[in-house]
């Protein structure tokens, strides 16, 4: 997936400088999970992507690390929600809900994207791949 293909979807997308290989590798190292090739590729093209009104379609490498660590280690979250070590959060809906890849047995083995609902702690399938997630988010097909 390239910047050009995403730009064709909307002119309201903001791209950032590409993430370095070290920044991308740090995500995998600090969170203990190998990143899917599709995620590595888009981070290599843009270290974060914002949609209309600053929507966090794809967080930058630092935020991916920080938010995932916070969700996995917060004592308050441990009391309120199911564990988060089975999700790799990478973006948000702007309302508190977050998008993630599923982690199974310590690995991301499927390209599907799920949304975590912050109000009821549900985790629901929203797209079959990261590329489709971008397309459906930008077109409004994904509504949360």
Kindly report, residue by residue over 43-58, the tens digit of the pLDDT.
Answer: 999 999 998 877 899 9
The whole-number pLDDT of residue 144 equals 85
Percentage of residues in the chain with pLDDT exceeding 70? 93
Query: Could you give the CA distance from residue 13 to residue 89 in angstroms, rounded to a whole number?
Result: 20
CA distance 27 to 40: 10
Structure tokens at 87: 């999700």
Mean of pLDDT values over 132-137: 94
* Confidence (pLDDT) at 2: 63
- Residue ranges of domains in the chain: 3-136
Please write the tens of the pLDDT for every residue from 15-30.
Answer: 999 999 999 999 999 9
**What mean pLDDT value characterizes the chain?**
93
CA distance 26 to 32: 9
pLDDT digits (tens, 9 = 90+) for 69-104: 999 999 999 999 999 999 999 999 999 999 999 999
Q: What is the CATH number of domain 3-136?
A: 3.40.1580.10
Tokens of 120: 């009821």
Give pTM, 2 decimals. 0.93
Tokens 């309302």 locate to 95
The pLDDT assigned to 130 comes to 96
């Amino acid at each position: 997936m390239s910047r050009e293909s995403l730009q064709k979807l909307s002119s309201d997308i903001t791209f950032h400088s590409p993430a370095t290989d070290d920044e991308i590798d740090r995500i995998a190292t600090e969170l203990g999970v190998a990143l899917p090739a599709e995620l590595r590729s888009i981070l290599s093209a843009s270290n974060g992507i914002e949609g209309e009104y600053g929507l966090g379609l794809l967080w930058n490498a630092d935020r991916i690390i920080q938010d995932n660590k916070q969700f996995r280690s917060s004592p308050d979250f441990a009391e309120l929600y199911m564990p988060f070590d089975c999700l790799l959060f990478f973006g948000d809906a702007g309302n508190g809900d977050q998008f993630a890849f599923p982690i199974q047995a310590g690995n991301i083995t499927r390209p599907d994207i799920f949304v975590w609902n912050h109000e009821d702690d549900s985790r629901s399938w929203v797209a079959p791949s990261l590329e489709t997630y971008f397309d459906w988010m930008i077109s409004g097909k994904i509504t949360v």
